[in-house]
């Protein structure tokens, strides 16, 4: 018999579902049979417009989604944004805004969902972190601080809310999103910059939102029942490379 993952009857909440990785996750979960409640600050088909840094708006979104289905089986806390500054020129407002979106909002969202996740019986929280939680480059502060702290959030929720709720982190490396294409486009020769980036990865490709979606499908299934408390780095082998060759 073929190995299949069927999430029919599961209810998933995905934040940041309008674009990039979140859109890929929502599509993959739907493909596996789950009902997806997506939110974003950017409007889109099947998206509830919600700013996850706004407590009242987040509460309203989760209460409505939870009440509609009576439970939440899968929470994928994905919405986030780069705040890339130098440690010396980051303003207090940028520091606060980054922590609010890339750290506090993940905790608040998990809190808002807790009762509905418990109602599901066996549920999972997936927090989308970043390879910047493991290593970083100059000028990517304070984004890397928030993403590193998410590793601790994953651990705490996993040990305090188990066994009803598993919590895991997924830390993508370079994913081929519209945002990263915009970054390539900022170079005089975007195609050359794309190829240079690909060459830096041992697997000689970039990751895709669909692949991160597939990780979420697996992590949401009964096959991943032993996975909790860990943040998994998915970076095409990039972090295994000590320094560029030649
Ligand atoms: N693209 C990558 O290479 C990469 C690598 C590592 C980690 N990540 C992480 O993946 C997640 C998704 O990033 P992406 O690259 O797909 O970016 P993206 O900009 O394409 O998608 C992020 C989505 O989150 C939404 N969003 C932003 N602030 C929000 C808010 N306050 N409330 C609700 N929605 C909000 C945006 O409107 C957008 O639709 C982020 O947490 C990011 O840090 C991305």
Q: Of all protein residues, whose CA lies closest to atom 34 belonging to ligand 1?
A: 40
The residue range of the domain holding 154 is: 11-172+209-234
Residues 191 and 147 in one domain: no
- Name the domain count of the chain: 2
Q: Of all protein residues, whose CA lies closest to atom 20 belonging to ligand 1?
A: 20
Residues 197 and 119 in one domain: no
| Ligand 1 center to 55 CA (angstroms) | 19
> 150: domain CATH number?
3.40.50.720
Task: Pick from 16, 42, 197 the residue to mutate for probing ligand 1's pocket: most ligand atoms within 8 Å of its CB.
Answer: 16
The 10 Å CB-count burial string (b at 16+, else e) for 159-179 is eebeeebbbbbbbbbbbbbee
Task: Give residue 222's pLDDT band: very low, low, confident or very high (50, 70, 90).
Answer: very high
User: Is 5 a domain residue?
Assistant: no
Residues 133 and 196 in one domain: no
Residues 43-74 have pLDDT tens digits of 999 999 999 999 999 999 999 999 999 999 99
User: Is 245 a domain residue?
Assistant: no
Q: Could you write out the DSSP letters of every residue in 80-92?
A: ----EE-TTT--H
User: Is 4 a domain residue?
Assistant: no
Residues 76 and 196 in one domain: no
Residues 197 and 164 in one domain: no
Residue 1 pLDDT > 90: no
Residue 245 pLDDT > 80: no
Share of the chain above pLDDT 90, in %: 98
Q: How far apart are CA 220 and CA 163, in angstroms?
A: 14
Residues 77 and 191 in one domain: no
| Ligand 1 center to 3 CA (angstroms) | 31
| Ligand 1 center to 158 CA (angstroms) | 23
- For ligand 1, is residue 22 a contact (CB within 6 Å)? yes
Residues 82 and 186 in one domain: no
Contact present, 49 and 100 (Cβ < 8 Å): no
Q: What is the mean pLDDT of residues 230-234?
A: 98
Residues 183 and 215 in one domain: no
Q: What is the mean pLDDT of residues 148-164?
A: 98
| Ligand 1 center to 2 CA (angstroms) | 34
What is residue 66's predicted lDDT score, i.e. its pLDDT?
97
Residues 20 and 96 in one domain: yes
Q: What is the pLDDT of the chain when averaged over all its residues?
A: 97
What is the dihedral sign for C-alpha 39, 171, 178, 87? positive
Residue 118 pLDDT > 90: yes
What is residue 5's predicted lDDT score, i.e. its pLDDT?
98
Neighbours of 69 (CB within 10 A): 18
**Element (DSSP H or E) covering residue 141:** strand 141-142
What is residue 246's predicted lDDT score, i.e. its pLDDT?
63
Q: How far apart are CA 73 and CA 7, in angstroms?
A: 10
Please tell me whether the overall predicted TM-score, pTM, comes out greater than 0.95 for this model. yes
User: Is 49 a domain residue?
Assistant: yes
Task: Give residue 16's pLDDT band: very low, low, confident or very high (50, 70, 90).
Answer: very high
Contact present, 206 and 175 (Cβ < 8 Å): yes
| Ligand 1 center to 1 CA (angstroms) | 37
User: Is 131 a domain residue?
Assistant: yes
Listed in sequence order, the residues at least 6 apart from 153 whose beta carbon sits closer than 8 Å to its beta carbon are 103, 106, 107, 110, 127
User: Is 243 a domain residue?
Assistant: no
Residues 90 and 195 in one domain: no
Residue in this structure with the two tokens 């520091």, named with its chain if needed: 95
Q: Which two tokens stand for residue 144?
A: 């890397």
Residue in this structure with the two tokens 């519209």, named with its chain if needed: 178
- For ligand 1, is residue 47 a contact (CB within 6 Å)? no
Task: Pick from 28, 39, 79, 153 the residue to mutate for probing ligand 1's pocket: most ligand atoms within 8 Å of its CB.
Answer: 79
What is residue 34's predicted lDDT score, i.e. its pLDDT?
98
Q: What is the mean pLDDT of residues 29-47?
A: 97
Residues 123 and 198 in one domain: no
């Amino acid at each position: 018999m073929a190995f299949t993952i069927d999430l029919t009857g599961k209810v998933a909440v995905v934040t940041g579902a309008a674009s990039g990785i979140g859109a890929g996750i929502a599509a993959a979960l739907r493909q596996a049979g789950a009902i997806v409640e997506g939110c974003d600050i950017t409007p889109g088909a099947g998206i509830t417009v919600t700013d996850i840094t706004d407590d009242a708006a987040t509460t309203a979104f989760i209460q409505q989604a939870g009440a509609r289905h009576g439970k939440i089986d899968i929470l994928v806390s994905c919405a986030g944004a780069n705040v890339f500054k130098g440690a010396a020129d980051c303003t207090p407002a940028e520091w606060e805004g980054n922590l609010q979106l890339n750290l506090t909002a993940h905790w608040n969202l998990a809190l808002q969902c807790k009762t509905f996740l418990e109602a599901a019986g066996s549920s999972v929280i997936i927090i989308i972190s970043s390879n910047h939680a493991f290593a970083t480059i100059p000028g990517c502060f304070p984004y890397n601080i928030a993403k590193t702290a998410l590793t601790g959030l994953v651990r705490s929720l996993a040990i305090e809310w188990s066994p009803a709720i598993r919590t895991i982190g997924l830390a993508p490396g370079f994913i081929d999103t519209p945002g990263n294409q915009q970054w390539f486009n900022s170079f005089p020769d975007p195609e050359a910059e794309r190829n240079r980036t690909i060459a830096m990865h041992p697997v000689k490709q970039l990751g895709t939102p669909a692949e991160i979606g597939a990780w979420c499908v697996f992590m949401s299934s009964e096959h991943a029942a032993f996975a909790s408390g860990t943040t998994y780095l998915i970076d095409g082998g990039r972090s295994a490379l000590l320094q560029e060759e030649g």
